[in-house]
Amino acid sequence: MSRRAHLIEALRATPRDLARLVRPLASADWRVVAAGQDWCIADVVAHLADIERRFLPQLHQIVHDDTPVIADLPPHPASHRRDADPATLLEDVGSARAATIAFLAALAPGDWARPYRDQRGGSGRFLARVQRLVAHDTSHLDQIIDMRASLARQGG
């Protein structure tokens, strides 16, 4: 299996892994900010959907433009739909991710080597940008595991 295929499979797994991690939670626990955390689980899930919607246009830009400058994607907590029900938040992540996977699956192998520059003057390749998205997913899945443990210690 190619590195590209492994990355696509990792991206495809995130919505399933996310659903598995949050399925046992009571709805109220989605909005509890656990001790030592800045966000609640609903914020994390909403953030994953938000980043996905902003990340895909950057991937398009790298493929279609000559060495584009790609901006950082800081969190936008104000845009988090923390009041949405858990099923809607999970659906947002899944549908945004499905669009990314469809785009990636249609690319030619050479597209994965396309260059870009970041706004600090660094450079990278398309494949590394996709790896960054996988790492971002992993970081937030780990965060949810920690949040669940913290909620359990608090009696949630």
The pair of three-digit structure tokens given for residue 113, joined into one six-digit string: 């080597």
Q: What is the per-residue pLDDT for 156? A: 55
- HSE-CB for 141 with a 13 A CA cutoff: 18
Q: What is the pLDDT of residue 123?
A: 97
Q: Which residues pair with 125 in a beta bridge?
A: 115
pLDDT of residue 35: 77
How would you write the chain as a 3-class SS string? Answer: CCHHHHHHHHHHHHHHHHHHHHCCCCHHHHHCCCCCCCCCHHHHHHHHHHHHHHHHHHHHHHHHCCCCEECCCCCCHHHCCCCCCHHHHHHHHHHHHHHHHHHHHCCCHHHHHCEEEECCCCEEEHHHHHHHHHHHHHHHHHHHHHHHHHHHHCCC
Whether 32 contacts 82, CB under 8 Å: no
Res 122: pLDDT: 94
State the residue for tokens 């990636």. Answer: 104
Averaged pLDDT, groups of 10, the chain, 156 residues long: 96 98 90 86 94 97 98 78 85 98 98 97 96 98 94 79
121: left (phi over 0), alpha (psi -120 to 50) or beta: left
Q: Which pLDDT value is given to residue 3? A: 96
Q: What is the pLDDT of residue 155?
A: 74
Tell me, what's the pLDDT at 37? 82
Output the CATH code of domain 3-153.
1.20.120.450
The residues spanned by each domain of the chain are: 3-153
